[in-house]
Amino acid sequence: MKIILLGPPGAGKGTIAKALMQHDESVQISTGDILRGAVAAGTELGKQAEAAMTAGDLVTDELIMGIMEERLQQDDCQQGYLLDGFPRTIPQAEALKALLSKLDERLDCVLELDIPRDIIIDRLTTRRTCTNCGEIYNVKFKPPRAEGICDVCGNEIVQRDDETEEAIENRLQVYNEQTAPLVEFYRNEGLLVSVPTSDLEPVMDALKSRI
């Protein structure tokens, strides 16, 4: 599978990517995870990305394309990939198209998770993330066994800096302005598959004819 997962923050792209990975050898590539890793490690990339990320703004297309050109040519991508959080702007989508054509590769489809805004806000404000392994919790629907402690690795779980209400509002506005136009872009490319849910079964049904 070579799929783009498209949808606002909190739509469930990461969750669906992990579920789809159980079905074949495709790897999940999350630009957000790559950037958070770089920030945590204090690398040059992390330093360049940190301020924009904390504010809920996008980092530059140049930075992202630098990461993705390298990442998509690594060996584990041969079996397929699920792009989670990339592309996020029309210039990124155009650059990806040019890169894939250079690599002689083709996307199977672009899966749009079309989730209502109130559900998104509720999910994001109640989401908590492990500072060590990245496991996701939700204070309402999936709390950890011990408060503030990750079930998987025992480290601290926190609310991400970009999941305060102010940053979330900004991230949704950024999505509407810069990322939502990709829906039309990929519809025109004949690649768009839209589903109004992030539950695995309906998503699998919608994907069946494409993969």
Q: Which of 80, 76, 48, 77 is nearest to 64 (CA)?
A: 48
171 is catalytic: yes
Q: Is 187 a catalytic residue?
A: no
Q: Which residues in the 143-162 window bind ligand AMP by CB under 6 A?
A: 162
Which x/- pattern, by CB under 6 A, does the window 3-42 give for ligand AMP? ------x---------------------xx--x-------
Per rule CB under 6 A, is residue 163 in the interface with ligand AMP? no
Residue 64 sits in the site that holds ligand AMP (CB under 6 A): yes
Asked if 123 is an active-site residue, the reply is no
Residue 88, interface with ligand AMP (CB under 6 A)?
Answer: yes
The correct pick among 85, 107, 163, 172 for binding ligand AMP (CB under 6 A) is: 85
The DSSP string of 109-129 is EEEEE---HHHHHHHHHTEEE
Positions in 91-110 near ligand AMP (CB under 6 A): 92
Non-local CB neighbours of 4 within 8 Å, separated by 6+ positions: 83, 86, 87, 107, 109, 110, 111, 186, 191
Shortest separation between residue 116's beta carbon and ligand AMP, angstroms? 18
Give which of 155, 165, 176, 83 is closest to 127, Cα–Cα: 165
State the catalytic residue, choosing from 2, 88, 123, 128: 88
CA-nearest of 47, 96, 89, 48 to 71 is 96
Q: Which of 18, 71, 97, 160 is catalytic?
A: 160
How are the residues of the chain apportioned to helix, strand and coil, as percentages rounded to the nearest 5? 50, 15, 35
Q: Is 71 a catalytic residue?
A: no
| Site stretch for ligand AMP (CB under 6 A), options 37-45, 52-60, 113-121, 125-133 | 52-60
Where do the H-state alpha helices sit in the chain? 13-21, 31-41, 44-55, 61-71, 90-103, 117-125, 165-174, 181-188, 200-207
User: Of these residues, 13, 36, 123, 128, which one is catalytic?
Assistant: 13
Judge whether 36 counts as a catalytic residue.
Answer: no
Q: Which residues are part of the catalytic machinery?
A: 13, 88, 127, 160, 171
Residues that bind ligand AMP (CB under 6 A): 9, 31-32, 35, 52-53, 56-59, 64, 85-88, 92, 162, 171
